[in-house]
Structure 1
Amino acid sequence: MEDYKPAGFWIRFFANFIDGVITMLMAFLIALLLNDQEFFNNRLEETSRSEDIANLIYVVIFVIIFTGSKFKGSLGKLICQIQVLNSRDMTQISLLKSIGRAFAYVISAIPLLIGFMMAGWNKEKKALHDIICGTRVVYREE
Structure 2
Amino acid sequence: MDAYKPAGFWIRFLATVIDSVLIAVLAAIIAVISNDPTYFNNSGYGGENSVSENISGFVYSVVFIIIFTASRYMGSPGKLACRIQVMNTDMTKISMLKSIGRYFAYILSALPLLIGFMMAGWNEEKKALHDIICSTRVVYRKKGN
TM-score by length of 1: 0.97
Question: 1:35 maps to which residue?
Answer: 35
2:54 is matched with which residue: 31, 52, 55? 52
Counting matched residue pairs gives 141
Q: Deviations over 1:74-108 (max 9, x none)?
A: 00000000000001x11000010000000001110
Question: 2:20 maps to which residue?
Answer: 20
Shift of 1:8: 0.3
Q: Which amino acid aligns with 2:138?
A: V
Shift of 1:40: 1.1
Q: Secondary structure at the match of 1:70?
A: coil
Question: 2:11 maps to which residue?
Answer: 11
Quote the Cα distance in structure 1 between the aligned partners of 2:16 and 2:44: 23
Question: 1:109 maps to which residue?
Answer: 110
Question: 2:77 maps to which residue?
Answer: 75
Quote the Cα distance in structure 1 between the aligned partners of 2:44 and 2:140: 38
Quote the Cα distance in structure 2 between the aligned partners of 1:71 and 1:77: 9
Quote the Cα distance in structure 2 between the aligned partners of 1:138 and 1:43: 34
Question: 1:122 maps to which residue?
Answer: 123
Which segment drifts farther, 93-102 or 39-48?
Answer: 39-48
Q: Secondary structure at the match of 2:16?
A: helix
Q: Which runs of 4+ in 1 moved over 6 A?
A: none
Q: Which amino acid aligns with 2:57?
A: N
Q: Secondary structure at the match of 1:141?
A: coil
Which segment drifts farther, 54-63 or 38-47?
Answer: 38-47
Question: 2:98 maps to which residue?
Answer: 97
Residue ranges of structure 2 left out of the alignment (5+ in a row): none
Quote the Cα distance in structure 1 between the aligned partners of 2:76 and 2:69: 6
Shift of 1:34: 1.0
Shift of 1:43: 3.8
Shift of 1:2: 2.1
Quote the Cα distance in structure 2 between the aligned partners of 1:18 and 1:104: 20
Q: Over aligned residues, Cα RMSD in angstroms?
A: 0.7
Residue ranges of structure 1 left out of the alignment (5+ in a row): none
Question: 1:140 maps to which residue?
Answer: 141
